A and B are shown apart, each in its own frame.
Chain A
Amino acid sequence: GAVVSQHPSRVICKSGTSVKIECRSLDFQATTMFWYRQFPKQSLMLMATSNEGSKATYEQGVEKDKFLINHASLTLSTLTVTSAHPEDSSFYICVGAQKNTEAFFGQGTRLTVV
């Protein structure tokens, strides 16, 4: 069945460095990739929506220069957290979708900034 493969599953980085998270759609072409953030015991918060080949649409309050999203192909989307700070520590999840089908979650990336 369709799968979204997300890597890394867990990353610890130093404050001020950048971290890249990759999501690859397997067995389907994700025309749209949604990026969510989830803080402990809280619900998913949509950060941005990206369509293949175009700029991502960011939700209000999400800094597009800090959270760089690239969706260059139908099977790969990346989220780069630039100049990470401890408050960026969270669980980041991508969700791939295409027309006329359900959506699939990546496994999630637990980011810890120290």
Chain B
Amino acid sequence: QKEVEQDPGPLSVPEGAIVSLNCTYSNSAFQYFMWYRQYSRKGPELLMYTYSSGNKEDGRFTAQVDKSSKYISLFIRDSQPSDSATYLCAALTGGGNKLTFGTGTQLKVEL
């Protein structure tokens, strides 16, 4: 079993839809949870990170972590075609010595 599981998609939604991207993890030592966005032929860029459980909001993006169920979510409101990309979840131990990525979910927002 992979330590971070993510549905690869692809996920296709109409413009303006609310997008929900999810990951699960198995290692209780993970303390930091990140979401990265990767456009085609580019390196991943950090979108948001959350420490331990809770929600974090930044504009149209909300990251949510539920440590009791080991579930990580990213919500995108009012999705735009420019949001079309691959979204990677990642988990990092508190000591910063183990970083594990999900396989990435490919998202396409259509006009």
Contact = CB atoms under 8 A, between A and B. Distances in A.
Contact of B90 (A31, A99, A103): A103
Interface in B81-111: 88, 90, 92, 94-104
Interface of B: 32, 34, 36, 41-46, 49, 88, 90, 92, 94-104
A106 B43 contact: yes
Interface stretch (A13-21, A63-71, A77-85, A90-98): A90-98
A102 interface: yes
A71 to B, nearest CB: 13
A111 to B, nearest CB: 13
Contacts, number: 62
18 contacts: A31-B97, A32-B99, A34-B99, A43-B103, A43-B104, A46-B99, A49-B97, A49-B99, A93-B43, A93-B44, A95-B99, A99-B95, A102-B32, A102-B92, A104-B46, A105-B43, A105-B44, A108-B43
A26 interface: no
Interface in A27-82: 31-32, 34, 36, 43-44, 46, 49, 51
A107 B87 CA distance: 16
A32 B45 contact: no
Contacts of B34: 102-103
Given A44-B88, A107-B43, 8 more contacts: A43-B102, A97-B99, A103-B32, A103-B90, A103-B96, A104-B46, A105-B43, A106-B43
A110 B44 CA distance: 13
Given A44-B88, A103-B34, A98 B46 contact: no
A79 to B, nearest CB: 14
B13 to A, nearest CB: 21
A46 B96 CA distance: 15
B98 to A, nearest CB: 8
A95 B5 CA distance: 20
A66 B88 CA distance: 28
Given A44-B101, A107-B43, A108-B42, A98 B88 contact: no
B48 to A, nearest CB: 9
